Amino acid sequence: MKSNKGAAVFLSAVMFGTAVVPGFFGNVQAEAASEAVVLYSNDFEEGDTADFTGRGGVETIGVTTDKAHSGTSSMLVSGREEGWNGPQFSLSDRCEAGVEYTVSAWVCPKWYNTINLSMEYTDAGGERHYSNLSSQGGDGWMEFSDIKVSFSDDVTNVYVYIEGSDTCDIYVDDFILKKAAVHDIEDIPSLKDVYADYFKIGGAVTASELAPTTTKNLVLKHYNSITAGNELKPDSLLDYKATVATGSNTDPQVNLNNARSILSFCEKNNIPMRGHVFVWHQQTPDWFFRENYEEGGEWASKEVMLQRLENYIKNVFAALAKEYPNLEFYAYDVVNECYLDDGSARQGGANNGSQQTSPWVQIFGDNSFIEPAFEFARKYAPEGCKLYYNDYNEYIDGKTNAIYNMAMDLKEKGIIDGIGMQSHLDTGFPTVAQYEKALAKFASTGLDVQVTELDITTNDTSAAGFEKQAEIYSGILDACVKYADSISAVIFWGTTDETSWRGDRCPLLFNGDYTAKPAYYAIIDGIESTGTTTTTTTTTTDTTTTTTDTITTTDTTETTTDTTVTTTETTVTDTETTTTETETTTITTETSSSETTTTETIPTDILYGDLNLDKTVSMVDIIYLNKYIADVIKFNAEQTANADCVDDDRIDSSDSNALLKYLVNKVSSLPVAAE
């Protein structure tokens, strides 16, 4: 059956401006966390395929009883002349920007094919973009199950579509579009506030990653620096048609179309950005390096490339200043990844092969393009924008030394401000000590250091694996705090494990459902609270109002916000606490043989969850509990009794889960029954 059930309810909610904001943001009109809602489903039993059109305009789309995944009918797409021909379904008509949806379908090609479930949209400049959401190969029914899709408010003509590796007939059945579940953002300390005395805490986001409201809320709560994951790289910015249209061989044109949703989000919410990146051997189109911009043509000369480089940097800064005058770029990666681990330069070559060769080295013969890149960046960067060299494996001696020497040289010339340590780490390598050694060396340059792309993968995704990951995270952040005088920002590469580029090895602080992992708790543990204001600016939906909710964590702090908003609410809240008078009985044991006296205090009234024994239950106790479970600290008798939050005479992760649920109001009291 075909059904539009749910759509009316949802769309009217959007039209009336219901805010898609988690429930805990003070008095903000909030849409609570919710389950997924089916907006459209079609099992093709009623013979209706009107919502699907052919992408190529040549396909025949109808219903058949030849094959079915469920019932007796399916949609048959025949007459496809190209692999990319196939059925498309419009999301623009049914979905809202900034909201997350899922698409499910069963697809059966007539013979073996790779089937793609993909998405298309048109950006603000009229350019069409295509991205693959999920792929599978096979010759029978293949399930695409709850594949996530979302888009930002500056795009149009959004479709999901199905295509194959050749032109065979395709059967489709049980197509379902849902509005995805809305998640709460946990009421836990904001990372940017916890570290406010030390450095900025930020994250990289891609435009699609930032599209769901829940992600925006996570970002707004925890980050005060944003890096565009892809959207300010040369392949996103360079505009081939406009470049060729200049008739000049040296003036590459750019447009900001791919970056707009991130740039406007940051501008609107006053979040300073790290620019990333001007010069890199990857994600830069081949034509940029070729004579007359001819893909695969003759390499351009060094002289031509120097002019292109200068004009490219000039044009990017000019476009940003013109179109986003209120957006602050406090840092910019000028050059990325020029050294191999032994400190030598990359091999020269095209960047479209599997080798990590560099067209920059191909044209310059060595790394001598680094210096002019910094000169040009210095010449055109806005005031206050610091300039960085950025690299990975930066903790391997050969590379550390090469970066150090280059940076010292450019420092002498006054054209570099800092070194970016990408910090894509793993629980197995490097050790915290190795990492700290590189950090110390970079700090000794007197330049600023930024941790620019931090993530720490783990192959072990058991509770023990995540505790180990938490330990390494804690060690790395402790090292950063130690060198805080030299570090101005620590940036995570992403938001949640689900959207991370290394998601299969769960490298970030938050799970796919936006809950904090042990690594989060480990890095806030022991960081001196600043007592400063927590300001959370919440964009409710892209189409409705922007609402600011300001929460102070002390009773006395005056709160202000300079964000431009339509509504400002100030709420003074105490940290969530439960205080109970605890009666204690003192047992004194006299041991005649050794003539010593042992005094042990055993509680008669257990306060479940109070693990630091401050007579209150708060997020800090989670840290104690997790540390105990990870065997990092020991508990005394009172703590042991208080820790058993599921009352099963054992202390393990079920107790920390129960405690977390209690703190986020998912259960009203402790202990809870073990699951």
Instruction: Indicate the burial class of 587 (C-beta count within 10 angstroms; 0-12, 13-18, 19 or more).
Output: exposed
Q: Which is nearer to ligand GLA, 380 or 501 (CB)?
A: 501
Q: Which is nearer to ligand GLA, 159 or 312 (CB)?
A: 312
Paired tokens of 119: 């998405």
Number of residues that bind ligand GLA (CB under 6 A): 6
Task: Tell me the C-alpha distance between 151 and 159, whole Å.
Answer: 10
Q: Which is nearer to ligand GLA, 221 or 276 (CB)?
A: 276
By CB under 6 A, is residue 426 in contact with ligand GLA? no
Q: Determine the residue type at 32.
A: A
The enclosing H or E element of 221 equals: helix 213-222
Q: Beta strands 546-552 and 567-572: pairing type?
A: parallel
The answer to whether the bond into 671 is cis (omega within 30° of 0) is yes
Largest CA distance in the chain: 100
- With contact defined as beta carbons under 8 Å apart, do 276 and 390 qualify? yes
Q: Taking CB under 6 A as the criterion, which residues in 375-404 touch ligand GLA? A: 392
Paired tokens of 669: 């009291």
Among residues 224, 253, 336, 539, which is the contact residue for ligand GLA, using CB under 6 A? Answer: 336
- With contact defined as beta carbons under 8 Å apart, do 165 and 142 qualify? no
By CB under 6 A, is residue 455 in contact with ligand GLA? no
| Cβ at position 457, least distance to ligand GLA in Å | 12
Paired tokens of 668: 């009203």
By CB under 6 A, is residue 10 in contact with ligand GLA? no
- With contact defined as beta carbons under 8 Å apart, do 622 and 655 qualify? no
| Cβ at position 484, least distance to ligand GLA in Å | 23
Among residues 96, 100, 417, 453, which is the contact residue for ligand GLA, using CB under 6 A? Answer: 453
By CB under 6 A, is residue 89 in contact with ligand GLA? no
Task: Tell me the C-alpha distance between 450 and 473, whole Å.
Answer: 16
- With contact defined as beta carbons under 8 Å apart, do 60 and 87 qualify? no
611: CB partners within 8 A, 6+ apart: 621, 624, 625, 628, 635, 639, 642, 643
Q: Which is nearer to ligand GLA, 240 or 501 (CB)?
A: 501
By CB under 6 A, is residue 450 in contact with ligand GLA? no
| Cβ at position 564, least distance to ligand GLA in Å | 31
Task: Tell me the C-alpha distance between 85 and 77, whole Å.
Answer: 9
From residue 56, how far is each of 80, 108, 120, 161, 335 by CA, in Å? 8, 19, 14, 11, 41
Helix, strand or coil, per DSSP, at residue 361? helix
254: CB partners within 8 A, 6+ apart: 237, 238, 239, 312, 315, 316, 319
Binding mask 250-289 for ligand GLA (x = CB under 6 A): --------------------------x-------------
Q: Give the closest residue to 189 by CA, choosing from 467, 576, 570, 546.
A: 576
| Cβ at position 474, least distance to ligand GLA in Å | 23
Binding mask 283-322 for ligand GLA (x = CB under 6 A): ----------------------------------------
| Cβ at position 433, least distance to ligand GLA in Å | 23
Q: Among the options 100, 337, 471, 638, which is catalytic?
A: 337
Report DSSP state, residue 508: S
By CB under 6 A, is residue 457 in contact with ligand GLA? no
453: annotated active-site residue: yes
| Cβ at position 390, least distance to ligand GLA in Å | 6
Q: Taking CB under 6 A as the criterion, which residues in 569-588 touch ligand GLA? A: none
Neighbours of 134 (CB within 10 A): 17
Helix, strand or coil, per DSSP, at residue 460? coil
By CB under 6 A, is residue 497 in contact with ligand GLA? no
Helix, strand or coil, per DSSP, at residue 285? coil
By CB under 6 A, is residue 422 in contact with ligand GLA? yes
Q: Which is nearer to ligand GLA, 59 or 391 (CB)?
A: 391
| Cβ at position 407, least distance to ligand GLA in Å | 17
Q: Which is nearer to ligand GLA, 422 or 535 (CB)?
A: 422
337: annotated active-site residue: yes
Find how far residue 185's CA is from the centre of its chain: 14
Q: Which is nearer to ligand GLA, 183 or 276 (CB)?
A: 276
3-state secondary structure 177-219: EEECCECCCCCCCCHHHHCCCCCEEEEEECHHHHCCHHHHHHH
Q: Which is nearer to ligand GLA, 95 or 207 (CB)?
A: 207
| Cβ at position 262, least distance to ligand GLA in Å | 14
Give residue number: closest CB to ligand GLA: 501
| Cβ at position 329, least distance to ligand GLA in Å | 16
Q: Which is nearer to ligand GLA, 27 or 283 (CB)?
A: 283
The enclosing H or E element of 482 equals: helix 463-482
Helix, strand or coil, per DSSP, at residue 145? strand
Q: Which is nearer to ligand GLA, 392 or 435 (CB)?
A: 392
Task: Tell me the C-alpha distance between 518 and 657, whole Å.
Answer: 11
| Cβ at position 276, least distance to ligand GLA in Å | 6
Q: Which is nearer to ligand GLA, 100 or 453 (CB)?
A: 453
Q: Which is nearer to ligand GLA, 356 or 564 (CB)?
A: 356
Residue 164, strand partner residues: 115
By CB under 6 A, is residue 501 in contact with ligand GLA? yes
Instruction: Indicate the burial class of 18 (C-beta count within 10 angstroms; 0-12, 13-18, 19 or more).
Output: middle
Q: Beta strands 225-228 and 200-205: pairing type?
A: parallel
Q: Among the options 186, 394, 453, 467, which is catalytic?
A: 453
By CB under 6 A, is residue 358 in contact with ligand GLA? no
| Cβ at position 491, least distance to ligand GLA in Å | 11
Report the catalytic residues.
337, 453
The residue ranges that bind ligand GLA (CB under 6 A) are 276, 336, 392, 422, 453, 501
